[in-house]
Structure 1
Amino acid sequence: MDFAVWPEAIELGRQFAEEGYELALVGGPVRDLLLRRPSHDLDFCTSARPEQFEPILRRWGQGFWDMGRKFGTLGAVRHRPDGTEVKVEITTYRSDSYESDSRKPDVDYGDSLEGDLSRRDFTVNAMALRVPDLTFVDPFGGASDLSKRVLRTPVDPRQSFDDDPLRMMRAVRFVAQLGFRIAPETAEALAAMTDRIGIVSAERVRDELSKLLLSEHARAGVEALVDSGLADHVLPELPALQLEIDEHHRHKDVYEHTLMVLDRAIALETGPDGPVPAPDLTLRLAALLHDIGKPATRRFEPGGKVSFHHHDAVGAKLARKRLKALRFDKHFIEDVCDLIAMHLRFHGYVDERWSDAAVRRYAKETGRLYPRLNRLTRADATTRNRRKAQVFSAAMDELEDRVARLKEQEDLDSIRPDLDGRRIMEILGLKPGPMVGEAYRHMLDYRLDHGPADQESAEAELRAWWAERSQE
């Protein structure tokens, strides 16, 4: 076969052969070789047990790790003269299987390369390249499926998904990552076994979902997730967006709208030096979940209108619960949910331009999420009315210009009241406590509304506020 193989792989193959062990490149690196895609992390499998090949790997690399030892996997890294590095992971021939109610796979060692390949997820990942002799091994027609861009399991798909239910998530992830389609018999088995995903740990499901959303064909992956029925178990708020549309079409199809918003948000990501470098999981997940509060808030109003009042707040609450269940990082969850809660903030600007104070407050309160929020807001404007779209876009352009001009005058992100907490306590004769915080917030609001004030004016405002409050 016509491809250039990493010299590090050849060298490792020779060292294993000298010790009497088999070694083969497997999975993604072989697939990527055939696709002419770059791959910097090399996966191998071997006939040797970890304790047998550990000395070889330690001699070969400049860094070594064994976090996967209990699964038969050891890893190492080597630094090349050009400053790049190559990472390798080597695993003893094995099989993975789940007990019917277990969240963790059992690992059993195998005894042949072909047997190991038969236990892989899909035929396109069940190809191998023996090293150092470069014998191509493809017992299940992976190269043919690769050319057809189809995902098929090496063995009966029901057996494959029963052995490792996470493979169902990997299937829809590869749709997003590679632009492939799932073979009919594989898709049928997947749809029939979606409840099996429930035994897989939330962390592993989360990682596959994240990879799906960060992929080139994210929308196709989301559609596969929903069409297969997996989303009913993993992200049920998503298929719930497929609201029944009455014959008068009194509101947009929320699910189709969401897919469009995801596409548009991705298109608005920036280059590596921009404010929202692609791919951005925070923006993409916020786009995917921004309307999940609509099913719970849909109301049919007099005159045939449909409303979704407070769906932003309800959606943020639902998203927080789901993302916690998927074990996302706390700060990441807060960012995504804040974007969902704020995604309607801009809409009032289109009808009535804000004062400088309101613009200053918007920039301050959205903080570091400001670039993402503006992109989510733009992506959410999917109206087909060209005039409305132009008015909305022009208003957003104007707001961003105004924020930029205000930022030239002062650092909006670091705005503080003209009086700090210590001075507030001195003026009002207070001790540390809730009242100081209330006074501080009032002075911050005053600062946002009126801009910088001199010390005398700020103190006069504080005293006036305190006098008025004391009379309540």
Structure 2
Amino acid sequence: MSDVALQPLTIVEIQRRVASELARIGSVIDELGALFAAAGEELALVGGPVRDAMIGRLQNDLDFTTSARPDTTERLVSGWADAVWDMGRDFGTIGCRKGEWQVEITTYRSETYDPSSRKPDVDFGDSLEGDLGRRDFSVNSMAVRVPGREFVDPFGGIVDLAERVLRTPGAPEDSFSDDPLRMMRAARFAAQLGFSVAPEVVEAMTEMAGRIEIISAERVRDELVKLVCAPHPRLGLTLLVDTGLASYVLPELPALALERDEHHRHKDVYEHTLTVLEQSIDLEHRLGNGPDFVSRFAALMHDVGKPRTRKFESGGIVTFHHHDVVGAKLTRRRMKALRFSNADIEAVSTLVELHLRFHGYGSGEWTDSAVRRYVRDAGDQLERLHILTRADCTTRNQRKADRLRRTYDSLEERIARLGEEEELASIRPDLDGNQIMGILGIGPGREVGEAYAFLLELRMDEGPQTPEAAEAALRAWWDARPS
């Protein structure tokens, strides 16, 4: 994993990067700024785009804040933008597209939470400094007024950015009371940017962790996905566990810290899990470009069944029999609670349930039938299962690690060879339902399904059959059935 995001910055380097980025986006921001200034309104580039410009992360999504009310904003951009939308009008936001640029313009605002509410009350503000003061972290509370390009930093965000630390503009207790989701965002930004979190922020997160319960599951889920898909997820996950937030949003993770790995390869299963996650990320190139949430979350959840299945045997041996099956059930339950899609739930829980299957392969003793079943059970998650299984090897014994790697290489080679010969990815019986009914002289019903299942098992056990051999086997099975 790259440590580029962790390199120190100097104020001079930050200023150089900002100047370069403003030159790149200047035609858009100056033109739009002039449009608002002519109407007597203020406009400033704000938040993430300013922060990202300082750390060299270029983007075409531009966020602005303005003194104009939404109706005025919509009127001003309607003749300038290629497309305009107002889905965020209730929060003071008008969106638009200008060429390759995606733009969001939000009225100065003040946003607070009722102690028992899951949704913010939005009040429009009257100054840029007031708007910046309600933002989550100082590194997101910087702005550039346009068209004049005046830099505004009332809370020392540029210094915090140079020091790579997350602080809140005001007291963290006030910030998290207003919007408890900001505690999750602290962990997410730590994971995305490689930043540390100021001690007073960590202390407030720890004291107020329970307040996250007023936030909807969907909003928590979205932050968790961004965290897991970040370049440094260990930083964010560790912060969630250390502050107690994980006990509310992903309690299966801190529970692992109480369980000793059965081979004593790591301090505990929790540390092993984070290592598996990082090793899984290192293998993501097998799936194509970009972070893969399903693969990463399966790595994070693969051992969550261990606390429920731990048993102490004679001789000091600790076992976790069936933790794969139990873990898959826990994974489904947690992902449903976080409102994940059925597709994501099925994909991750399937990987958790199958992550131990390879260990029955031994030194390559599996029959072709067993290899076929491995592929069939993995289905469209086979490549992710390859990644998880390889990542799950965290032994410090290099000889053992090399042996496991060679053995899995052998299994993948067998899968590829059988795949070429038999089209493993789409294994079906050698006879279809219509052929079954014609041979047996029966109509649609339960018997057809039973015959289909028999032929599928035959295909798994013995490989492809000729139509004649399949028909003979089907008739023999039919004749041997009880009346």
- What interval of TM-score do these two structures reach, taking the shorter chain for normalisation? over 0.9
Question: Which residue type is aligned with residue 445 of structure 2?
Answer: G
How much has 1:350 moved relative to structure 2?
A: 2.2
- 8 Å Cα contact 1:350/1:391 also seen in 2: no
Question: Which residue type is aligned with residue 321 of structure 2?
Answer: H
- Is the counterpart of residue 285 in structure 1 residue 297 in structure 2? yes
- After TM superposition, the score normalised by the length of structure 1 is 0.95
How much has 1:410 moved relative to structure 2?
A: 3.1
- The residue that corresponds to 1:82 in the other structure is none
- The residue that corresponds to 2:278 in the other structure is 263
- 8 Å Cα contact 1:98/1:164 also seen in 2: yes
How much has 1:430 moved relative to structure 2?
A: 2.9
Question: Which residue type is aligned with residue 235 of structure 2?
Answer: A
Q: Deviations over 1:225-261 (max 9, x none)?
A: 1111110100001000012549995986110100010
Distance 2:363 2:306 in 1: 23
- Is the counterpart of residue 98 in structure 1 residue 98 in structure 2? no
Aligned to 1:43, the other structure's residue is in SS state strand
Correspondence for 1:423 among 405, 413, 435: 435
- Is the counterpart of residue 35 in structure 1 residue 55 in structure 2? yes
- The residue that corresponds to 1:414 in the other structure is 426
Question: Which residue type is aligned with residue 350 of structure 2?
Answer: D
- The residue that corresponds to 1:366 in the other structure is 378
- Is the counterpart of residue 16 in structure 1 residue 36 in structure 2? yes
Question: Which residue type is aligned with residue 408 of structure 2?
Answer: M
- The residue that corresponds to 2:130 in the other structure is 115
- 8 Å Cα contact 1:126/1:140 also seen in 2: yes
Structure 1 ranges of 4+ moved more than 6 A: none
- 8 Å Cα contact 1:66/1:73 also seen in 2: yes
Distance 2:449 2:261 in 1: 50
Distance 1:241 1:386 in 2: 25
- 8 Å Cα contact 2:310/2:319 also seen in 1: yes
- The residue that corresponds to 1:333 in the other structure is 345
Question: Which residue type is aligned with residue 62 of structure 1?
Answer: D
Distance 2:29 2:478 in 1: 74
Distance 1:352 1:153 in 2: 56
- Is the counterpart of residue 140 in structure 1 residue 193 in structure 2? no
- Is the counterpart of residue 178 in structure 1 residue 178 in structure 2? no
- The residue that corresponds to 2:68 in the other structure is 48
Structure 1 residues 76 and 453 mapped into 2: Cα distance closer, same or farther (>3 Å)?
same
Structure 1 residues 181 and 191 mapped into 2: Cα distance closer, same or farther (>3 Å)?
same
Question: Structure 1 stretch 11-20 or stretch 442-451: which is displaced more?
Answer: 442-451
5 Å matches for 1:192-211?
Answer: 192-211=207-226
Identity of aligned residues (%): 60
Correspondence for 1:242 among 257, 268, 276: 257
Structure 1 residues 246 and 73 mapped into 2: Cα distance closer, same or farther (>3 Å)?
closer
Gaps of 5+ in 2: 1-14
How much has 1:177 moved relative to structure 2?
A: 0.2
- The residue that corresponds to 1:470 in the other structure is 482
Distance 2:261 2:380 in 1: 41
- 8 Å Cα contact 2:259/2:307 also seen in 1: no
Q: Deviations over 1:101-122 (max 9, x none)?
A: 1111111110000000000000
Gaps of 5+ in 1: 80-84
Aligned to 1:368, the other structure's residue is in SS state helix
How much has 1:357 moved relative to structure 2?
A: 2.3
How much has 1:437 moved relative to structure 2?
A: 1.4
Question: Structure 1 stretch 12-21 or stretch 404-413: which is displaced more?
Answer: 404-413
- After TM superposition, the score normalised by the length of structure 2 is 0.93
- 8 Å Cα contact 1:47/1:92 also seen in 2: yes
How much has 1:415 moved relative to structure 2?
A: 1.9
Q: Deviations over 1:170-195 (max 9, x none)?
A: 00000100000110111101110011
Question: Structure 1 stretch 350-359 or stretch 92-101: which is displaced more?
Answer: 350-359
Distance 2:457 2:181 in 1: 50
- 8 Å Cα contact 1:195/1:233 also seen in 2: yes
- 8 Å Cα contact 2:262/2:317 also seen in 1: no
5 Å matches for 1:211-250?
Answer: 211-245=226-260
Question: Which residue type is aligned with residue 348 of structure 1?
Answer: G
Question: Which residue type is aligned with residue 45 of structure 2?
Answer: L
- 8 Å Cα contact 1:93/1:111 also seen in 2: yes
